[in-house]
Amino acid sequence: MIPAGDTVEVVVQTMSVAADDVLMLELRRAGGGTLPTFAAGAHVDLHLPGGIVRSYSLLNPMDAGTCYRLAVHRHPSSRGGSRCVHESLRVGQHLLAGVPRNEFELDECASLSILVAGGIGITPLWSMAQRLESLGRAWELHYAARTRGKAALLSEVEAFASASRHGRMQFHATREAGGRRIDLVSIVALAPAGAHLYCCGPAEMVDAFVEAACDRPRSEIHVERFESAAPVDTAGAFTVHLVRSGRSMPVPAGRTLLAVLVESGIAVPHSCEQGICGSCEVPVIDGQPDHRDSVLTDREKQANRTMLVCCSRAKSASLTLDL
């Protein structure tokens, strides 16, 4: 058993083109053996050369520890992660991968699961569709991308859906001739009571989905973001106290709490630095955090037991963390 927060050494087994600007990777445990298991919707932190850590959703539905499959979109404004994968990663290369975490869990008991994907947001939803099919649960997938050529895994997903006994899919090519924007309002309005709805895609799509679903029970709406809606706000200064190391340090306006901690030599796992992956969650002992992430639930934010230090700050003059 590998403890949470630990890593496992993996080797890049295969790399293939999954769409324009999208590479698919298959990772196996270096030296053989099994990998930590995971469930549909999970992601792993990949430790790339140059100290870059990025989170990627797993494509396989659920796995007994044989491999991790993931797809990496080359982002035009890459901060280094996707550029590194596309330009320098090679088959046979060894990397560290974090233990899979799941902030986007599938409710496997729902009468119907409606999956809405935008672009590379297909990755966790593809995992869910496969899992639901294997369980014999009803599902429908709405997949939007600019063109068919830019839609990762499209042929694989279409072939799976056409052979499916429990699900169906609709693809929306929004920038092709005759293409239309995905109608999120109608998708949500037509969902029967008791259906669970999931969305992963660009920030504006997820925001529109949340808005369209605002009257439905919160427990039946699930979203995951792969980009933040807004840059991290670093206004306001406070002091952070660390109980384990017995240190205190100022967090000035213009600096993130994570940056201050890392510069002070405090090891804090992190990846997206946008409040969307959950890897920098830290226990709070005292003080009132100003939660600005998209990971914690409203209830978790009210409880103030943890915070995500890459983007959240303090409402109180100081915070005491279990670090």
Angstrom distance (rounded) from CA 135 to CA 241? 48
Which one, 73 or 225, has the nearer CB to ligand FES?
A: 225
By CB under 6 A, residue 270 contacts ligand FES:
yes
By CB under 6 A, residue 280 contacts ligand FES:
yes
Least Å from the CB of residue 7 to ligand FES:
16
289-290 vs 313-314, strand pairing mode: antiparallel
Which one, 70 or 295, has the nearer CB to ligand FES?
A: 295
Nearest to 27 by CA among 43, 11, 38: 11
By CB under 6 A, residue 275 contacts ligand FES:
yes
By CB under 6 A, residue 224 contacts ligand FES:
no
Site mask for ligand FES (CB under 6 A), range 98-117, x = bound: --------------------
Residues in binding contact with ligand FES, number by CB under 6 A: 14
Piece of the chain touching ligand FES by CB under 6 A; list 16-24, 65-73, 181-189, 277-285: 277-285
Nearest to 199 by CA among 189, 209, 191: 209
Element holding 210 (H helix, E strand):
helix 203-212
CA atoms within 13 Å, Cβ hemisphere of 283:
6
Nearest to 200 by CA among 177, 217, 182, 175: 182
By CB under 6 A, residue 310 contacts ligand FES:
yes
Least Å from the CB of residue 270 to ligand FES:
4
Residue 25 carries which side chain, given as an amino acid letter? Answer: L
Signed CA dihedral, 252, 255, 259, 263: sign only: negative
Inter-CA distances, 154 with 17, 56, 139, 181, Å: 12, 18, 17, 18
By CB under 6 A, residue 271 contacts ligand FES:
yes
Out of 97, 277, 284, 321, point to the residue binding ligand FES (CB under 6 A): 277
Which one, 80 or 149, has the nearer CB to ligand FES?
A: 80
- Residue 111 tokens, joined: 């009468």
Site residues, ligand FES (CB under 6 A)? 270-273, 275-280, 293, 295, 308, 310
